[in-house]
C-alpha cells in the first residue's frame, strides 16, 4: 500500500465525521479524530465502553461510509486459530490423498494438499489478503482468553500472517481495524500498545436527543426530550444492565406506535420491558417511578 496522500481514506477529522453522518451515524469530535488518526497512523482502534453504546455500529458505519467490505470476527470463549486465522480443509485433503495414493510419492502428495486449493480463510486472513478495501471488526475481544490475544499481535503489528506450509502472507493493503471491548476483563498491554484508544460512554442528553430525532420517524421533539430524560434517570439507578442507545430508540418507536406524546406513570411501567431486560431491574425501576 502506498504511503502517499492518495492512499488516505480521510482528508481530515471533519471529513471522517461528515462521511459517518451521511450514513446516519452521529459522531462526536473524539470519534471523528480517532478514525482520522487510525487511518494516518495505520493503527487499529480499540473501542471500549458499556454494552449498547454504539461500538459495533461504529465499525459497520465506517465500512458503509467508505463503501468498504466489512469483515467481522465475533470473539467468544474458546475461539482459536482455526476460527480466527485459517484452517485446512481436512475432508478435501483426505479425499485427495485417497485419490492420489497410487500415483506419485508421499512427498508430492503432501506438498499438493498443503496448497491454496485446500486453505480455508477465516476473518483475519480474509482481511489481510483482500484486494478490495475492507474494514475489519474484531468484536468483543475481551471475551477471548489471554493466550488467544497472541493470535492477533502479528496481524495488528505487521499486518501479516505466518502459515508454516505456505510462508508469510503480507497484507495487500492496511485495513481499517476496530476492536471492541465491554471491558469484562483487562486486555494485555501488548495488545493495547498496538491500538489507538476510544471510549464510548452513554451519550449526553443533547446528543441522545439528536440520535432519537434522526432515527425515529414521527417522533416529536417534546416526546424525544421526555424519552431521553426518563432513560437518563434509569441509567442513574443501580441496574444489572442499563438501557442502551438502541433500547432508547426502541422505546421511542414504541411510544410513537402507541400514538403517545406524553409519558405518564402507567405508560412508563407498562413498557419498561422494552428498556430493561432483567426482572430485578424492572422491579427496581417500577419502584423508582412510584417514588418520583
Q: DSSP per residue over 138-178, as a string?
A: EETGGGS-HHHHHHHHHHHHHSEEEETTTEEEEPSS--EEE
In a shared domain, residues 187 and 45: yes
In a shared domain, residues 57 and 154: yes
In a shared domain, residues 212 and 276: yes
In a shared domain, residues 148 and 268: no
Q: Which residues contact 219 (CB under 8 A, 6 or more apart)?
A: 212, 213, 227, 252, 253, 255, 256
Q: Which residues contact 146 (CB under 8 A, 6 or more apart)?
A: 188
In a shared domain, residues 195 and 115: no
Nearest Cα to Cα of residue 144 among 178, 179, 174, 120: 179
| Predicted local distance difference test score (pLDDT) of residue 1 | 42
- DSSP character at residue 68: P
Element (H, E) at 70: strand 69-74
In a shared domain, residues 109 and 185: no
How far apart are alpha carbons 12 and 24 in whole angstroms? 19
Domain boundary residue, one of 135, 165, 199: 199
Q: Is 278 helix (H, G, I), strand (E, B) or coil?
A: coil
Domain with 183 in it: what CATH number? 3.40.50.300
Cβ-in-10-Å burial (0-12, 13-18, 19+) of 65 comes to buried
pLDDT(8) > 80? yes
Q: Is the dihedral of CA 227, 229, 235, 239 positive or negative?
A: negative
pLDDT digits (tens, 9 = 90+) for 256-279: 999 998 899 999 999 999 999 999
In a shared domain, residues 218 and 268: yes
pLDDT digits (tens, 9 = 90+) for 196-221: 999 999 999 999 999 999 999 999 99
How far apart are alpha carbons 25 and 61 in whole angstroms? 6
Domain boundary residue, one of 140, 170, 199: 199
Separation of first and last alpha carbons in the chain: 59
Please list the helix, strand and coil fractions of the chain in percent, rounded to the nearest 5, in that order.
55, 15, 35
Q: Could you tell me the residue range of the domain that residue 243 belongs to?
A: 205-291
Q: Which residue has the higher pLDDT, 96 or 254?
A: 254
User: Per the structure block, which three cell numbers stand in for 217?
Assistant: 420517524
In a shared domain, residues 67 and 15: yes
In a shared domain, residues 183 and 225: no
In a shared domain, residues 131 and 153: yes
Identify whether the C-beta of residue 276 lies closer than 8 Å to the C-beta of residue 254. Answer: no
Instruction: Tell me how far apart the 2 most distant CA atoms of the chain are, in Å.
Output: 83
Q: Which residues contact 21 (CB under 8 A, 6 or more apart)?
A: 27
Mean pLDDT rounded to a whole number for the chain: 90
Mean pLDDT along residues 123-135: 94
How far apart are alpha carbons 206 and 197 in whole angstroms? 24
Question: Looking at the whole model, is its pTM more than 0.95?
Answer: no
Identify whether the C-beta of residue 100 lies closer than 8 Å to the C-beta of residue 130. Answer: no
Alpha-carbon distances of 166 from 74, 76, 156, 227, rounded to whole Å: 26, 28, 20, 57
Nearest Cα to Cα of residue 249 among 277, 196, 208, 280: 208
| Predicted local distance difference test score (pLDDT) of residue 2 | 40
How far apart are alpha carbons 247 and 243 in whole angstroms? 6
Under the banding of pLDDT at 50, 70 and 90, the label for residue 106 is: low
In a shared domain, residues 28 and 173: yes
How far apart are alpha carbons 93 and 81 in whole angstroms? 19
Number of domains in the chain: 3
Domain boundary residue, one of 68, 99, 119: 119
pLDDT digits (tens, 9 = 90+) for 22-43: 999 999 999 999 999 999 999 9
How far apart are alpha carbons 213 and 206 in whole angstroms? 11
In a shared domain, residues 159 and 72: yes
Interhelix angle 13-22/29-41, rounded to 10 degrees, is 110
Amino acid at each position: 500500500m502506498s504511503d502517499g496522500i492518495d492512499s488516505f481514506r480521510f482528508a481530515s477529522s471533519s471529513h471522517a465525521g461528515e462521511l459517518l453522518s451521511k450514513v446516519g451515524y452521529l459522531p462526536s469530535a473524539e470519534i471523528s479524530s480517532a478514525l482520522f488518526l487510525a487511518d494516518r497512523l495505520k493503527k487499529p482502534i480499540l473501542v471500549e465502553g458499556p454494552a449498547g453504546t454504539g461500538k459495533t455500529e461504529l465499525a459497520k458505519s465506517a465500512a458503509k461510509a467508505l463503501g468498504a467490505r466489512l469483515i467481522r470476527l465475533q470473539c467468544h470463549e474458546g475461539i482459536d486459530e482455526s476460527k480466527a486465522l485459517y484452517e485446512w480443509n481436512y475432508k478435501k485433503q483426505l479425499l485427495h490423498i485417497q485419490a492420489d495414493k497410487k500415483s506419485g510419492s508421499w512427498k508430492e502428495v503432501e506438498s499438493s494438499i498443503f496448497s491454496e486449493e485446500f486453505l480455508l480463510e477465516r476473518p483475519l486472513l480474509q482481511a489481510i489478503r483482500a484486494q478490495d478495501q475492507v474494514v475489519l471488526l474484531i468484536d468483543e475481544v475481551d471475551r477471548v482468553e489471554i493466550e488467544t490475544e497472541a493470535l492477533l499481535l502479528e496481524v495488528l503489528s505487521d499486518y501479516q500472517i505466518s502459515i508454516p506450509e505456505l510462508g508469510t502472507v503480507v497484507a495487500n493493503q492496511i485495513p481499517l481495524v476496530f476492536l471492541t471491548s465491554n471491558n469484562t476483563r483487562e486486555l494485555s498491554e501488548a495488545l493495547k500498545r498496538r491500538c489507538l484508544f476510544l471510549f464510548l460512554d452513554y451519550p449526553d442528553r443533547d446528543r441522545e436527543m439528536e440520535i432519537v430525532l434522526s432515527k425515529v420517524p414521527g417522533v416529536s421533539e417534546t416526546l424525544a426530550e421526555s424519552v431521553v430524560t426518563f432513560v437518563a434517570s434509569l441509567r442513574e439507578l443501580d441496574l444489572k444492565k442499563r438501557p442502551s442507545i438502541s433500547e432508547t430508540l426502541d422505546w421511542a418507536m414504541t411510544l410513537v406506535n402507541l400514538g403517545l406524546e406524553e409519558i405518564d406513570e402507567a405508560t412508563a411501567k407498562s413498557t419498561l420491558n422494552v428498556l430493561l431486560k432483567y426482572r430485578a431491574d424492572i422491579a427496581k425501576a417500577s419502584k423508582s417511578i412510584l417514588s418520583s
